[in-house]
Amino acid sequence: MSVDPTKPYDSENIFAKILRGEMPCNKVYEDDHALAFHDINPQAPVHILVIPKGEYVSWDDFSAKASDAEMAGYVRAIGHVAREQGLVVRGFRLLSNVGRNGGQEVPHLHVHLFGGGPLGPMLAQ
């Protein structure tokens, strides 16, 4: 079921539960603004999700409503995780799905961080 990015934030979504500690995750990094953990269904040798701690449905919601401090903290956390995981030298890919056309399934903003090997074409048809 795809996310409707125009709907209000649903605090019962799976990533909200992970942030509250109600669901486990395989954590790789956490700071005041962001949490990063391994995707449960990896699509690359390294597949990490980085989520902001604030309640934002999607990139659209975040870019419209987040404070400058939240934005800076989130972007820096994503960069930190990529460096810490050793992905920079060989390269990596960032992806954030928004809404139905984007194929977004979880209604809490997340960036997919892919790496660990050649990632192929940007979009599979």
Q: Report the candidate in 85, 94, 88, 66 with the shortest Cα–Cα distance to residue 27.
A: 85
Q: Could you say whether residue 40 binds ligand AMP (CB under 6 A)?
A: yes
Q: Among residues 37 and 82, whose Cβ is nearest to ligand AMP?
A: 37
Q: How many CB atoms lie within 10 A of CB 23?
A: 11
Q: Are 91 and 19 in contact (CB under 8 A)?
A: no
Binding residue for ligand AMP (CB under 6 A) from 57, 82, 106, 109? Answer: 106
Q: Which is nearer to ligand AMP, 42 or 69 (CB)?
A: 42
Strand bridging mode 46-52 / 34-38: antiparallel
Find the radius of gyration of the CA atoms of the chain. 14
Does the footprint of ligand AMP cover residue 97 (CB under 6 A)?
Answer: yes
Q: Does 60 bind ligand AMP (CB under 6 A)?
A: no
Residue found by looking up tokens 């603004």 in the block: 33
Distance of CA 44 to the CA centre of its chain: 15
110 is catalytic: yes
Task: Tell me if 72 contacts ligand AMP by CB under 6 A.
Answer: no
**Binding residue for ligand AMP (CB under 6 A) from 82, 104, 113, 114?**
104
Residue of 38, 80, 110, 112 with catalytic role: 110
Provide the annotated active-site residues. Answer: 110
Q: Which residues bind ligand AMP (CB under 6 A)?
A: 14, 25, 37, 39-41, 49, 97, 103-106
